[in-house]
Structure 1
Amino acid sequence: MEQLFPSLSILSLLLAFGIALVAGFVKGVVGFAQPLILISGLTLFLPPELALAGLIIPTLVTNAMQSLRHGPQAAWASVKAFRVFLICGGITLVIAAQMVRVVPEAVLLMAIGIPALAYAALQLGGLGFSLPRRSSKVEAAVGGIAGVLGGLSGVWGPPTVMYLTALGTPKADQLRVQGVIYGAGAVALFFAHLASGVLRADTIPFSILLILPAVLGMWAGGKVVDRIDQVIFKRATLVVLLLAGANLIRRAIF
């Protein structure tokens, strides 16, 4: 193991394995937050670029699993329904990924954390925000924002979750749609960071290593989500979003 990852200690690898397991479990329950947990946890003891590389391939694999949970036909229907979101997000993600080394980390973290925290806090406090119907313009804007954040940090969950929650999307549909959106973003992220140099010969093996714990965690989380109703699911989603946003703001400040 030390020969394969000469720059990482056994302790660092075990910690990374544990963080990936927890991230996969949370994703299995609420359908998102795996990249948030991975990037937040891994950057505590790893360089940001290696942490970003580490989350890319596990995210690709688990999102494919999530989007195909109800079969290819259901996944394709979600692709067609949210094609505006996917196209806009994909374009901005690829462009933003090329700027990953020049944007200050604190600015990026605050840009993700503040909206996520504010939205979740308002929803949990009873000041609900909802969209009566879908709008192509709103969807394009949210998709574009999600793509920028995803390209820079590997994290595009908060804008997507806020949008789907505001639409009142049913649990099963939301999980599948999130998987499709995040899966398409993960593919774009993979190729974008092959081009940016974040994914390369010395970082890809680390990312591959984290697939197994992420998948195991997601499997366990899936067993939990099947037992909870729509109200509990939405509340759990908002709590995770609140904590994720608060953690990102904390990292930006300190």
Structure 2
Amino acid sequence: MMDLSMMGPGALGPWAWGAIVAVALLAGLVKGMVGFAMPMIMVSGLGSIVGPDWALAGLILPTLATNGWQALRLGPAAAWAVVKRFRVFLGVALVALLISAQLVSVLPERVMLLMIGGPIVLFALTQLMGRQLRLAHPPKRAVELAVALVAGFIGGFSGVWGPPTVAYLTALETPKREQIQVQGVIYGLGAVSLLFAHLGSGVLRAETLPFSLMMVPLALAGMWVGLRLHDRIDQATFRRATLVVLLVAGLNLLRRALML
């Protein structure tokens, strides 16, 4: 694995840089289409080219930019309505995220990957097989608190807080336009917290900041294409696409855990 702490002219070959560009574009495209998966794709893809701290740093700024676009796509008023509706979820998840961000240097990577991947694979498989999990509107407070804690805790030390949140919104049968915006608001606020958390943890620093900045226009370009695709699909197709992306992401996380 190339150590980007030594990155300079010629430190990475053209194939490596081509792969980095492809990962950022793909992450943006998938996010634009289903509203999530950018951190999963970037952590997985970049992590096979650069060190884990560089992969995590690389996703922080593009995640912030794309979630801002996603959250405000239907206007500030609609975004604020989402904040009020999910205020408990947001508050609990953000506190958990800030606390768990400090575990980056102490928690074994295999444990982290298994904690994320296993439940997500199980959820996606059962949903695709027709055993749909549905939650009441509004959900029970205990359920909302539990999902928020899991999402925030995982997001802080891995940068990947999407799967538990998506599983939760899917179980609530949230309409696709609303689900996209809800995810944008939730992940956007989480991305702000992640930014400050990892300024404190040292993951985002003078050496890694330019790399993260370079990912932003690539991710935005991919997202623009993904949003065009999202507008063309119906609710049923959106739900299936969401579950397929969840399944693939979960399986890849398990693969990485077993290969460590």
**TM range, smaller chain:** over 0.9
| CA pair 220-127 structure 1, distance change in 2 beyond 3 A | same
Aligned to 1:229: 234
Tell whether the 8 Å contact from 1:94 to 1:192 is kept in structure 2 after alignment.
Answer: yes
Q: 1:53 to 1:124 in 2, by over 3 A?
A: same
Residue matched to 2:3:
none
Query: What is the CA-CA distance between 1:11 and the residue it aligns to?
Result: 3.4
1-structure distance, mates of 2:166, 2:178: 12
Equivalent position to 2:74, from 70, 73, 95: 70
Question: Percent identity at matched positions?
Answer: 55
Q: Which runs of 5+ in 1 are unaligned?
A: none
Query: Over residues 173-211 of structure 1, what are the superposed CA-to-partner deviations in whole Å (9 max), with x where a residue is unaligned?
Result: 000000000000000000000000000000010000000
Tell me how far apart the structure 1 counterparts of residues 12 and 199 of structure 2 sit (CA, whole Å). Answer: 22
RMSD, aligned α-carbons: 1.4
Residue 131 of structure 1 contacts residue 167 of structure 1 at CA under 8 Å; is this kept in 2? Answer: yes
SS at match of 1:107: helix
Tell me the secondary structure at the aligned position of residue 103 of structure 2. coil
Cα 1:189/1:3, change in 2 over 3 Å: closer
Secondary structure at 2:179's aligned position in 1?
helix
Query: 1:60 — aligned with what?
Result: 64
Runs of 4+ in structure 1 off by over 3 angstroms are 2-11
Residues 39-58 of structure 1 mapped to structure 2, 5 A cutoff: 39-58=43-62
Q: 1:102 to 1:232 in 2, by over 3 A?
A: same
Pick aligned residue for 1:90 from 94, 115, 122? 94
User: By how many angstroms is 1:132 displaced?
Assistant: 1.9
* Distance in 2 separating the partners of 1:51 and 1:3: 14
AA at the equivalent of 1:150: G
* Counterpart code for 1:121: L
Match of 1:158 in 2: 163
Q: What residue in structure 1 maps to residue 172 of structure 2?
A: 167
Which residue of structure 2 lines up, in the alignment, with residue 211 of structure 1? 216
Q: Number of aligned residue pairs: give it.
A: 253
Contact residue 96 and residue 151 of structure 1 kept, 8 A: yes
1:3 CA displacement: 7.9
Amino acid at match of 1:85: F
Residue 199 of structure 1 aligns to a residue whose secondary structure is coil
For 1:5-16, what aligned pairs fall within 5 Å after superposition?
Answer: 7-16=11-20
Following superposition of structure 1 onto structure 2, how do residues 92-131 of structure 1 map, counting pairs within 5 Å?
Answer: 92-131=96-135
Aligned to 2:191: 186
Distance in 2 of aligned mates of 1:167 and 1:130: 6
Query: Does the C-alpha gap of structure 1 residues 170 and 58 become closer, same or farther in structure 2, counting only changes over 3 Å?
Result: same
Q: Give the conservation status (yes or no) of the 8 Å contact 1:5–1:206.
A: no
Contact 1:97 1:196 in 2 (8 A): yes
Counterpart of 2:245 in structure 1 is 240
Letter in 2 for 1:200: R
Letter in 2 for 1:78: V
Q: Which range moved further: 2-11 or 186-195?
A: 2-11
In structure 2, the CA distance between the partners of 1:136 and 1:194, relative to structure 1 (3 Å rule), is: same
Mapped to 2, the partners of 1:121 and 1:23 lie a distance apart of: 22
Instruction: Give 1:15 deviation, angstroms.
Output: 1.5
Distance in 2, Cα, partners of 1:5 & 1:157: 35
Q: Secondary structure of 1:85's partner?
A: helix
Aligned-partner Cα distance in 1 for 2:206–2:111? 29
- For residue 21 of structure 1, what is the amino acid of its counterpart? L
Residue 10 (structure 1) shift: 4.0
Q: 2: CA distance between counterparts of 1:153 and 1:8?
A: 25
Stretches of structure 2 lacking an aligned partner (at least 5 in a row) = 1-5
Render the CA deviation track for 1:49-89: whole Å, top value 9, x for unaligned: 00000000000000000000100000010011001111011
